[in-house]
Homo-oligomer: A and B are copies of this chain.
């Protein structure tokens, strides 16, 4: 069950078979049922996890009690609230699974030991963080662009399979539009998301 992560790591660093297996030993496998809260806002995030299969979302509840989807994550992505995780601070966001999700989880201690033991993996985490910066920057630009159809198209590019896998109100919440308006946009885009 660690083969997916092995292939992922090999994309970034050249490690011997022995080093790769040693690195994988730091990760703990978890299978989480659908609709399970794996991080609750106000608590410290105690994992940085590679997703083998499944889907999760990160969300934020504002002062008025409105829920906003901040990010989705699917297989071959990573999920964590990095500031809470790295600095042991309470998280402002929550994370829940939207499908049964298989994860390979690192605790903070395991991550530190892993990087002490296999420092070549700093590069993988650096590049993964750069990609995360890109995804978040795109989210910001998407919400500044002002046109809901553009936002939906960018969403389809970023998360091509998510539209068919999660409740539509989470996507509407990510895009900052109503469910009804999202339904109109889907009809306009037509076959590409049916």
Contacts and interface: CB of A to CB of B under 8 A. Distances in A.
A123 B125 CA distance: 9
Given A129-B129, A136-B133, A144 B68 contact: yes
A174 to B, nearest CB: 11
A126 B122 contact: yes
B126 A136 contact: no
A69 to B, nearest CB: 10
A136 B129 contact: no
A191 interface: no
B70 A147 contact: no
A130 B130 contact: no
B82 A134 contact: yes
Residue from A83, A92, A130, A140 whose CB has the most chain B CB atoms within 10 Å: A130
Q: Is the interface of A mostly helix, strand, loop or mixed?
A: helix
A119 interface: yes
- Number of copies of chain A assembled together: 2
A179 interface: no
Interface residues of A, number: 37
Interface in A100-133: 115, 119-120, 122-123, 125-127, 129-130, 132-133
Contacts of A170: none
Given A70-B140, A137-B70, A140-B70, A147 B63 contact: yes
26 contacts: A60-B141, A60-B144, A62-B145, A62-B146, A63-B147, A63-B150, A64-B146, A70-B140, A70-B141, A70-B144, A82-B133, A83-B130, A83-B134, A86-B127, A93-B137, A93-B141, A119-B119, A119-B120, A119-B122, A122-B123, A126-B126, A129-B129, A129-B133, A132-B133, A136-B136, A139-B140
